[in-house]
Amino acid sequence: MKVQVSTNFRKHARKTILSIVVFAITYVILLLLAIGITVGFTILGIMIFTAKPMFYTAILCLGLLATGLTILFFLLKFVFASTKVDTGHLTQIYERDEPQLFALIHEVVKEVDTSFPKKVFLSHEVNASVFYDSSFWSMFLPIKKNLQIGVGLVNAVTQQELKAILAHEFGHFSQKSMKVGSYVYHVNQIIYNMLYKNESLDNMFDKWGNISGYTAIFIGISVFIIQQIQHILKHLYEYVNLNYLALSREMEFHADEIAAHVAGSQALADSLLRLSFANHALNNVLTFYDSKFSENIRSRNIYPEHRYVMLLFAERNRYQVRNGFPQIELATLKKI
């Protein structure tokens, strides 16, 4: 299946790629400067110690070396870090357990002309999504993506509507811009960690500060240089994400177009209009049982109750019900 990529899609993809290139060039420049500082401080320290070998010049030599290495460590620490998505709240399912669902997934995969997900997970939510573990190498190697399907979603849509939603998600699988997304995600992780996740560096500074008053001078130099790097990174973070935000919207439009081609525009529209309604109904069921926790009252299966609450809200709001599913029209959409 071939869906034409829009001019806006291409334009924003180019802008996003350019912003990543700008980040890469800036990062390399910062890294080269850090290497230069490390080498320069090391040479300066050795020269001072060689000129006048004594305890204080030895401390100065080691302090300058440590300052340079700290800045280098700060720039390199998070680049090769991997980020794994927590799947503790999800349940992995297999084809032998859910053959009908997997048959539908295979059908959609074939029609969209993309790869089958690495793993399929169930959640309780009224949602479906694509996710993957990110690492430095995921920017260059093919990414095996996972599919998460909410039981609340399956409970709230027809099979054709579920097909439309899955086609939307697999539309993301088929997009070459997903690779751009991987770049942006990893760039964001690097910058975010450099800006906000420096506990190990802070602990190291605390330990050094407790060794001697002399080390406070070198810590001050390291902190000052790192703060200047962080200032540059904050601007890069805003620049990269501003461009990617526009691309993300185009990616959603493109995935919607793929879904409409696979399952029909009506099925896609009906499912999307019902999602927030179904989510509100599920939240009401969960809130009810949460309030009954102290009384040890719980549900054996919340999903029949979820369906009941959806129909109850549909009756209250005078929504039409077709084949057991409330029909939420855009013109009559009301806040429950």
Q: What is the pLDDT of residues 81-114, one digit of tens each?
A: 667 788 999 999 999 999 999 999 999 999 988 8
For range 6-20, the mean pLDDT: 83
Superfamily of domain 91-180: Metalloproteases ("zincins"), catalytic domain (3.30.2010.10)
Confidence category of residue 136, pLDDT binned at 50, 70, 90? low
Question: What is the DSSP annotation of 198-234?
Answer: -HHHHHHHHHHHHH-HHHHHHHHHHHHHHHHHHHHHH
Neighbouring residues of 160: CB distance < 8 A, sequence distance ≥ 6: 263, 264, 267
Whether the CB-CB separation of 39 and 68 falls below 8 Å is answered with yes
pLDDT tens digits, one per residue of 238-264: 888 888 888 888 888 888 989 999 999
pLDDT digits (tens, 9 = 90+) for 31-82: 999 999 999 989 998 998 898 888 888 888 888 888 888 888 888 876 766 6
What are the angstrom distances between the C-alpha of 150 and each of 251, 253, 278? 22, 22, 12
Domain segments of the chain as ranges: 7-83+185-256, 91-180, 265-332
* Residue 289, pLDDT above cutoff 70: yes
pTM to 2 decimal places: 0.77
Please list the residues that pair with 129 across neighbouring strands: 148
